[in-house]
Amino acid sequence: MQVLNKNKEQKVRTKKIQGPMERMRQKAFTIIMIPYVVFLVLTKGLPFVWAVIMSFTNYTGFNIGNMKFVGLNNYIRVFTDADAIPSIGRAALIAIIVVPITVTLCLMLSLMLNQKMRGIGFFRTAWYLPSIVPGVATVMMWRGMFIKNGGVFNQILSYFGYNAIDWMDFGHVQMSLIIMLLWGAGGGILTNISAMKSIPTELYEAADIEGAGFFTQFRKITLPLISNMIYMNIITGLMSMLQLFAQPVMLSGEGGLTATPIRPIYTYMVHVYQQIFVNMRFGYGLAMVFLIFILIMALTWLAEKTSKLWVYSEVD
Amino acid sequence: MRKKIIIFMSLCLALTSVLSGCGGQNSGKDGEKKHIVVTFGKDEITGEVAEAETIFADYLAEHPDVEIEINSLNATDPKMLAMIASGNAPDIIRLNAPSDVATYVMRNMIIPIDEYVEKSDVIKMEDYYDVINLFRFDGKSVGKGDLYGLPKDWSIGSQMWINTALFEENGVRIPTDEDPFTFEEFAEAARKISKKNDDGTMAVIGADLGIGANYNYIEYMLSQQGKSYWKDDFSGTTTLTQQETKDAIKWFFDLQQQGALTSKLNEISSTYAWFAEGKLGMWNQGYWASAYFRDENTDMKIPLENVKLVPGPVFDKNNRKSSIMKATGGVISAQTKHPETAYSVLEYMMTGALAEARAKKGFGFPIEKSKISLLPMANVIDEQAKLATDNDAKYLSYDMKYNPYVNASSIEASFNKYYIPALYGEMTLDEALKAMEEDIEILISEGKEIAGVE
């Protein structure tokens, strides 16, 4: 009872402390936020709820009049669909290969590009360039290089007297896709460099005095202090790899976004897209989307829970 | 301070309303206008890239209460399907007849236009080629029943462009208007023309019929023999039950494995580029592709004298059949708020000055016989291609079947999902055919459910 009274007293005191200006500010904040919240609910919240509802129906995009509720059937179907689970496996395999290499490459590049030397701006731009080139152009460029008849890679092989390789056959296409994805490894350079720049120089000066070499400084100072940025790169990398869609589809060639890539690069989101926009299984496709959403949420939660062990933070 | 906050909030609200106004289609004064969305490409209505205001200038002058927006989408474009699913379908939809017409009708996505055509002063059915019937569907058969659309123009899809120099170099007979290839002769010619480089890449490819086993082409091959890829009740395909279907697929499969046909195994950047460079012997396209050779910016590297349009292969020269395969045209969405206005825009697009402009560009034969004299005759190819099409049109047949319960892109996806692994040797062709049949039967049963058919 005493505690309650204390809280009340505190609230009253706080209210008393708030002047008319503060109250007006709060009101203004609320009023300014209303359009945003309304906009958010209308454009994100309602479609999300609508999609959740549709994932429990046999919605095909054209049967809104005679749509049926199918319970958990769409969700169960994901586990019996011969293509769904293997396609997650493929996306996961690509993620396991691409994310660590990309993060490591990006870290090494960031270290090199964080040096003070003449013309470093050019190299920073050059490495970051792939990240700002439109994805379609990137894939078309790589496709042109991989294509068996007349592609750049096979012309180089031919010049040195080697036989041509079918870079997009069952045996090579996954490697070709991974090579293409690694080309964008410089995407995290800017954030890494900015994190490195925010490390106080006094730490390095003190380490120099103590006789610590480059690798010790990297291991003891740089790496811990930019570990939150590495953490972010890993999480966003995993998310984008598990949702890999446009690159395998466009690499496969004809048919636009509804093209069917060959098995080794037929990823989960490609299968989702095929279900919704080729086979008109909107309900099933949405159930697939929510399952990958849950999987990504679970992985992110796991990473967050274990982050205390390997990500440096100044806040407990 | 209070005044400043109020001014700031007012500015925010004004900005929000201005921004939201940018996204709306019918705002302010224009809100009263009938807004018609057309999904044709900006370059295919007159043959030149232009904005709606320019293309439809005369129409808009006569109909000040109408505004037209061009949104270049195909009937099978995911964005189009999303628009239809969300109840925002374009008013006039570009689609390919007959393959898409049947599925669109079965899903109640388009409306018949007979009542408007009957009232029209512009459409004279006697002046129309039979191709218009590809936009008819009676619930079972394409070519019969209500009319659902108007074609833009037409070509004979079974015809092919050939590079005669490659034929002569390899001692292959050149097919003529009177004496087309049989499928056996076609296969033999493709094999003879194909050549490999020392590094294993293709130097020359015999023919292009699409990179998968194009199921539409298989239906063409079967219709020549009085058969079909589809069972009579459209409950599945004849892949596992009819020898002719297996043979047709095997014909494709063998030629693609031998490198005589373009395929995933021997992928090339562009079939047109290969034909233009003299590295493709036979290119399965109709009259419309003559536009590539006519263009002043054409990148043809072979003399035009070596390029000819010839009939497609046939099974029986005494029972010769050619096929349109695909005719592009416009249909009216069942979701349109202004069906009458949408029809008048469609009619304006497909007839009169715009049809004349297209005919003069030669992007296909005009749908009205009276406009045939407008076709270009600028180079050596023009006259030959027109004569070849005129001649082959005598053998046009409309007996290819189309399954109304499943859309063309689904069939193609299911087909290639198994056919391409078989090409790569990941499974046998028999296994692939069995798996694709299972997939297609599921799609058909789902399609029947959507259409409310038992």
In this prediction, residue B177 carries a pLDDT of 94
Say if the Cβ atoms of B78 and A148 lie within 8 Å: no
Number of Cβ atoms within 10 Å of the Cβ of A207? 16
- The Cα–Cα gap between A271 and B275 comes to 34
B374-391: average pLDDT: 93
Smallest CA–CA distance, residue B268 to chain A, in Å, is: 6
pLDDT the model gives residue A60: 86
Distance (Å, whole) CA A177 – CA A266: 11
- What distance in Å separates the CA atoms of residue A106 and residue A128, rounded to the nearest whole number? 10
B197 touches chain A (CB under 8 A): yes
Asked if residue A149 lies in contact with residue B266, where contact means CB atoms within 8 angstroms, the answer is yes
Q: Which residues of A touch B109 (CB under 8 A)?
A: 62
The answer to whether the beta carbons of residues B79 and B39 sit under 8 Å apart is no
Distance from CA of B14 to the nearest CA of A (A): 12
> What distance in Å separates residue B121's CA from the closest CA in chain A?
35
Task: State how far residue B378 is from chain A, nearest Cα, in angstroms.
Answer: 33
Measured between CA atoms, the residue of chain A closest to residue B211 is: A254
A137, burial (CB in 10 Å: exposed 0-12, middle 13-18, buried 19+)? exposed
Pairing state between β B202-208 and B280-283: parallel
Rg (alpha carbons) of chain B, rounded to whole number:
24
Chain A interface includes B336 (CB < 8 A):
no
**Distance to chain B for A212, nearest Cα, Å:** 55
Chain A residues inside the 8 Å CB shell of B197: 158, 164
Among B269, B413, B421, whose Cβ lies nearest the Cβ of A278?
B413
Which residue of chain A comes nearest to B440, CA vs CA?
A279
How do residues B162-186 score in pLDDT, each as one tens digit?
A: 999 999 999 999 999 999 999 999 9
Percent of chain B, pLDDT > 70? Answer: 92
Say which of B198, B199, B413 has its CB closest to residue A260.
Answer: B413
Question: A28–B410: do the CB atoms touch at under 8 Å?
Answer: no
Q: Is B77 on the interface with A (CB under 8 A)?
A: yes
Interface of B with A in 50-69 (CB under 8 A): none
Q: Give mean pLDDT, residues B355-377.
A: 92
Chain A contact set for B13 (CB, 8 A): 35
User: CB–CB of B446 and A282 under 8 A?
Assistant: no
Residue of B nearest to A67 (CA): B450
Min Cα distance B325 → chain A (Å) is: 18
Closest to B94 (Cα-Cα) out of B333, B325, B286, B340 = B333
CB–CB of B409 and A147 under 8 A? no
Q: Which residues of B touch A256 (CB under 8 A)?
A: 77
Q: How many CB pairs under 8 A join A and B?
A: 109
Query: Who's near A53: CB < 8 A, 6+ residues apart?
Result: none
Q: What is the DSSP letter of B128?
A: B
Q: For position A15, what pLDDT does the model report?
A: 54
Mutate which: B18, B262, B267, vs A, most A CBs within 10 A: B267
**Closest approach of A32 to chain B, Cα-based (Å):** 7
Kindly list the residues from chain A whose CB atom is less than 8 angstroms away from the CB atom of residue B1.
21, 24
- Do A262 and B421 make contact, defined as CB atoms within 8 angstroms? yes
Interchain proximity A60–B269, CB inside 8 Å: no
Cβ-Cβ contacts under 8 Å, A262 against chain B: 264, 420-421, 424
The lowest-confidence range among A246-260, B93-107, B368-382 is A246-260
- Give the residues across from B37 on adjacent strands: B69
Tell me the two tokens of residue A289. 């989307």
Give residue B54's pLDDT: 92
Q: Which of residues 403-432 of B touch A (CB under 8 A)?
A: 407, 409-410, 412-413, 416-417, 420-421, 424, 426
CB–CB contact A258 B409 (8 Å): yes
Q: How far is A255 from chain B (nearest CA, A)?
A: 9
pLDDT single digits (tens) B249-285: 999 999 999 999 999 898 888 899 999 999 999 999 9
pLDDT of residue A89: 96
pLDDT at B394: 94
- Per-residue pLDDT tens over the stretch B22-80: 443 433 344 578 999 999 988 888 888 889 999 999 999 999 999 999 998 877 788 88
pLDDT at B298 over 90: no
Neighboring chain B residues of A36 at a CB cutoff of 8 Å: none
Q: Report the chain B residue with the minimal C-alpha distance to residue A273.
A: B78
Q: Which residue from B minimizes the CA distance to A142?
A: B269
CA distance B420 to A262: 7
* DSSP label of B134: G
Interface of B with A in 96-115 (CB under 8 A): 107-109
SS3 B377: coil
Strand pairing partners for B332?
Answer: B92
Contacts of B211 in chain A (CB under 8 A): 253-254
Structural contact between residues B394 and B411, judged by C-beta atoms closer than 8 angstroms:
no
Q: Which residues of A touch B200 (CB under 8 A)?
A: 163-164
Q: Contact B201/A150, CB-based, under 8 Å?
A: yes
**Mean pLDDT score, B316-331:** 91
C-beta of residue B284 within 8 angstroms of C-beta of residue B208: yes
Write the single-letter amino acid at B133: N
Q: Which of B13, B199, B413 sits opposite A157 (nearest CB)?
A: B199
Task: Read off the pLDDT band of A19 (50, 70, 90).
Answer: confident
**pLDDT single digits (tens) A180-215:** 999 988 888 889 999 999 999 999 999 999 999 999
pLDDT of residue B13: 44
DSSP B75-121: TT-HHHHHHHHTT---SEEEEEETHHHHHHHHTT-B---HHHHHH-S
- Residue B312 is classified by DSSP as P
Asked if B450 lies within 8 A of A35 by C-beta distance, the reply is: no
Q: What angle do CA B34, B36, B40 make, to 5 degrees?
A: 165
Contacts of residue A274 in chain B, CB cutoff 8 Å?
413
Question: Is A273 in contact with B107 (Cβ distance < 8 A)?
Answer: no
> Would the CB atoms of A31 and B417 count as touching at under 8 Å?
no
Residue B15 is predicted with a pLDDT of: 43
For residue A254, the chain B residues in CB contact (below 8 A) are 211
Pick from B12, B78, B443: which is nearest to A257 by CB? B78
Mean pLDDT of B372-379: 91
Q: Which residues on chain A are in Cβ contact (under 8 Å) with B265?
A: 166, 169
- Out of B76, B77, B199, whose CB is closest to A158? B199
Provide the whole-model pTM: 0.85
C-alpha distances (whole Å) from B141 to each of A94, A169, B75 are: 47, 40, 20
What pLDDT, on the 0 to 100 scale, is given for residue B378? 83
Task: Tell me what the mean pLDDT of segment B322-337 comes to.
Answer: 92
List, for residues A157-184, the tens digit of each pLDDT value: 999 999 999 999 999 999 999 999 999 8
In chain A, residues with a C-beta closer than 8 Å to the C-beta of B420 are: 260, 262
Is residue B94 very low, low, confident or very high in pLDDT (cuts 50, 70, 90)?
A: very high
